[in-house]
Amino acid sequence: MICYALDSQYFFGNDIIFAPIVNKAQTEKEIYISDGEWILTKDGKIYTKGYHTIKAEIHEFIAFVRKGADIYKCFQ
């Protein structure tokens, strides 16, 4: 399974994926999204399974919430 090999993003429970920017001057990151639909918390865009390049400024974080999860309200 691809998710077990990823070392720069992680699940927080079953409904949140965090992908922190960890390199100096980094402004984008390639993220793997697992099955289902996931909402990027910073803009509400929906992503599906596969690899996606996400842009993030120094003051932003990259987090996805599983579509339909109640916890999404905490990010709005």
Tens-place pLDDT, residues 31-64: 999 889 999 999 999 999 999 999 988 778 899 9
Tell if the pTM clears 0.85, that is, is over it.
Answer: no
Give the domain ranges of the chain.
2-16+24-75
Handedness of CA 19, 20, 25, 27 (dihedral sign): positive
Q: What architecture is domain 2-16+24-75? A: Sandwich (2.60)
Handedness of CA 70, 1, 50, 58 (dihedral sign): positive
Residue 12: is it exposed, middle or buried by C-beta count within 10 angstroms (0-12/13-18/19+)? exposed
Q: Distance between CA atoms of 34 and 60, rounded to whole angstroms?
A: 22
